Amino acid sequence: MPSDSTFVEVKNAFQAIAGLESLTAADEFFLTSSVNRAVHRAYNESDSWPRYLVVGEERLLFPYKLSGGDSLTSTLVNQNFKFFGLAEAGTVSIGGTKVYNGADGLATSNTLIYKNTGNAWVVATNVTSSVNSSGIVSFGDSGTVQYTETDTIKNDAVEDVKIWNPRGGASKLKVLTQNLIPYVEGGSTSIGEFLRIYRSKPFVNNSALEYEFYVDSLGCNVLNLRSSTAHSVFVNYKKELTTNYTPDSTDIPSEFVDYIIYTALSDFYTGDGQAEKAALAANQANAMLDIELLRLDKKANNNTINKRFSTYVNRQAR
């Protein structure tokens, strides 16, 4: 398990190497800045640092993002929606039709997209519902319907609806089709970088097939999803780096400490106008980081976890 060092330990080691009996307030301020910048640089040097690496974690998929809801309908419709299940036959929805659940950072919510008994898609808030282990959604009530499909010929897919009639006012509902994994999901660690996306849990027994994807400001967009009812995928990712180390910090990554110290020493010499010593310290810092990167290679994280082998199969659209 990766170990941590305290800021005091880093500071004492820096003073010993720099030959400083004490640090002024200004020196300590610049040391704090150097520590944070060095950790950020080291973090970016590899996707395989064990302390930041998460392998095969299940994450929700969001096929739709709705917007346009206002005070005359409801702003609760303005969120991402995940596949929730298939409706049971009843007085609210047509049996066997798809139900989508508003779930921005949540496992469930009471804002749903479903087909009413008139075969029209609706977006409703305050719906009482539940889903069983077989993926069948039961409705306690229809909720407050905010938007209703009014196309003459009703559509099978939400994205094909041309006209959404609002409950009040004249707001236009916008439906964005996507297969998004957000950077942030309630109850889970925030994602810094997406590395690989799998159909099933990887590195357990059998090989897991992978999805192609691209990343934008909203998160990871999965391509060629195998099923329109798939509600989750499995992700290798790098945890988000949230560095804000202070003189009271006790959680500085120990594997970065030697690199941090020599980076800080280089910064110190640069600020003091000693360019030659600064360059030597910078070279030493890079050598220390190279040692840690070599250890990653020995652990095989680069080859096994993050390297994708190119084959005929995984080059095909799936």
pLDDT digits (tens, 9 = 90+) for 172-226: 999 999 999 999 887 889 999 999 999 988 887 667 889 999 999 999 999 988 7
Phi, psi of 115, deg, nearest 5: -95, 125
Model confidence over 80-123: pLDDT tens digits? 999 999 999 999 999 999 999 998 655 567 999 999 999 999 99
**What DSSP character marks residue 240?**
P
Beta-ladder partners of 215: 220
Distance CA 65, CA 79 (A): 6
How far is it, in rounded angstroms, from Cα 302 to Cα 46? Answer: 9
The answer to whether the CB of 282 falls within 8 A of the CB of 262 is yes
| pLDDT value for 105 | 55
Spacing of C-alpha 86 from chain mean position: 27
E strands along 157-265, which residues? 164-166, 174-182, 191-198, 210-211, 213-215, 219-222, 232-239, 252-253
- Determine if the pTM surpasses 0.85: no
| 253 to 1, 17, 52, 282, 290: CA distances (angstroms) | 11, 19, 10, 19, 16
* Contact residues for 113 (Cβ-Cβ < 8 A; gap 6+): 64, 66, 81, 99, 100, 121, 122, 123, 158
Between 57 and 311, the higher pLDDT residue? 57
As a whole number of angstroms, the distance between CA 259 and CA 46 comes to: 14
Report pLDDT for 281.
Answer: 97
For residue 190 the two structure tokens come to: 């925030």
